[in-house]
Structure 1
Amino acid sequence: MFNLIVSAKGDVTSVTKDRILERLYTKDHIRRQFVTADGDIDRRKLETLPVLLVEEFKDDVKVPVRVGYFTAPFSDDVKQSLFIPSFTAEILQDNLSAFSMVEWENTHTHWAVKEGDLFQILGNIFESRPDCKNRINQFPIEQIVSNRVAVMMSFKAEYDDTYETIKQACSQEGYEAKRVDEFYDPTSIPEQIIELINSSAYVIADISELNANVLFEAGYAAGVQKPTILVTSTSDTPVPFDIRHIRYFSYLNNKQGRKKLFTSVVYALQSLQAR
C-alpha cells in the first residue's frame, strides 16, 4: 500500500483532517486498517507507507510528482526517494487505474491510501515507456560529510559493545561513526543505507557471521569506490574465498578482543588518511 496525497499547493499541510481517507478515494477495507476504535486517523501508521505527492492538476500534466517518505513522526515533510526522481503528472494521468485512482481524483485535494506496491507499479510503467527508461536506481551524488564513517553491521545485541568500540576508535581519529538504525525512517532502510554510504568519508563493514545484508552493503560501497574497512569476529565461519584476498581485521568478541579491534580501526583510519 502507499499514500496518495493530492493537494492544491503540492504539500501535506494543505490537506485538512476531513479529507484524509475519504471513502470515495480509499476503499473501506483499507480505511479500517488506519482508523482507531475511537474513529480517529492513525497518523503514525499512515507514516509507515511510502508517499506519492502531487499538486492538483487538470490540464497541466507537467506538474511534478514526488515519491518519498515522511521524515519524522507527525512531520509534514516528505523526503524525496533516492530510487525514483520526480516525474510529471502525465504519467499519473495516463495510468489512473494502475494507481487505483478514480476519474477526476487528481483535481481534488485529499489524502488516500491505495493498494499495491508503489515501486513495482512505477517500475512497470517506466519499463514500458521509452521516455522513462532507466529512471529507477539512479542514485544522486550525496554531499560527503568529511568526518562521518558509515558502519555496516548486525544489529544483534551481542554486537552492541563492538559498535561502541568502533565508535570510540573513530572518535579518537576525529570521526563520527553512524549506523543506519540511528536515523528515523522505518520504511526506507535500503535508501537510508545507500544515503549513509554515499555521504560518508569511509565505511566500516563488520562481516561477522557472513551477514548477507552487510555483505551486500560492503559490495555496494566497493561498487561506488568508497574506502572500506572490513572487520570480522573470529569464529568457525571462514571469510568467503572471493573476498579473502581483501585485507580485513579479525577480532574476538570479548573485552580483550575488542581492544584489538579498537587498535585495528585506529590504524586503518590513519592509513586511509595518509593516502
Structure 2
Amino acid sequence: MFNLIVRNTDWKTGRANMIAGRALAYTSDGLKQQFQPEGNLALDDLAKLPCLFMQEGIRYEEAYVGHITRHQMTPKGVTFDFTLDRHIGPLPNFALYELRSALGIDDDFEFHHTHWAVKDEDLLHVVLRMYASRRSRPNVFALADFANVDHCLVSAMMPFAKDFSDVYDTIREAAKTFRMNCQRADEIFENRSVMQDIVNLIDSSRVVVCDLSGRNPNVFYEAGIAHALGKEVILITQRLDDIPFDLRHIRNIVYDNHAEGRKELAKKLIATMETVLSR
C-alpha cells in the first residue's frame, strides 16, 4: 500500500501541499473508509505509508519515492514535509506509465491531474521491477536507462545521398497512412555526435526502416542497433544481393528506384507496417 501524490511541482524542495478536495481521489471506497473515517483524513496513518511523489505527465517528467515526515491540516488543505529516498530515482514518468496497472492506476488521467490517492499495491516491488528492466550501458554512445518510445514515430536509416531522396519521401508517405511521422538522422541536430542523434532516433522509434541498398556499412550498423533494441525493423533494398547472409532469413522488400517502383514500394511498406503495428 502506498500514497500516490501527483503535483506539477519540484519535489526536491521537501515541502508541498494538497487541496483537501483532491485528497483520496482515485482511491477505492474501502481505502477511503479506512483513511477518511467520518470525513476526516487520518493523516497519521497516511504518513506511515511509502509515497510516490510524481510530477504531472507521461513523458520526461520525474517521480520520487519517499516518506512524509510532518503534516498539518489547514483551511486550504494539507501541508506536508517529506524526504526522498536518495537510493531510488528519479524515476521517469514514461517508465511508470508502462507499469500503471501494477501501480493500481486504472485511469490515464491520474498522470495529468493533481491529486493524492492511496493504492493497495506494493510500490517497492514495482520499483524493483523497473530497475530490473534497466538496460546495460554501451561504451560508444549513451543510452537511457529506460526505453521511451514515440508510438507515432517511424525512422529511416539510409545513405545521406540525393539518390535516396525520393525513396525517403516514399517512406514518409507510407508512414502518414498510419498518422505517423517519419524522420531521418540528418534532420536532427541535438548532439555534437551524429551517432548519438541516430541512436536517440532509433531508440524512440516505433518502426525503423533500413535501406540496405549499396551495402552501406553505416546502415548495417544502425540496423544492428535497431535489432538489439528490439525494434520493429523493416528491411528494404534495391538488390537482393545487398542483403548479407546473416539477414537473409528476415523478410525484406526489394524495390526499383523509379516512379513505378516506388509506388509498389509504398504499397508493400503500408502492408508490412500494418502487420508490425498490430503486434
- TM-score by length of structure 2 reads 0.48
Larger Rg: 2
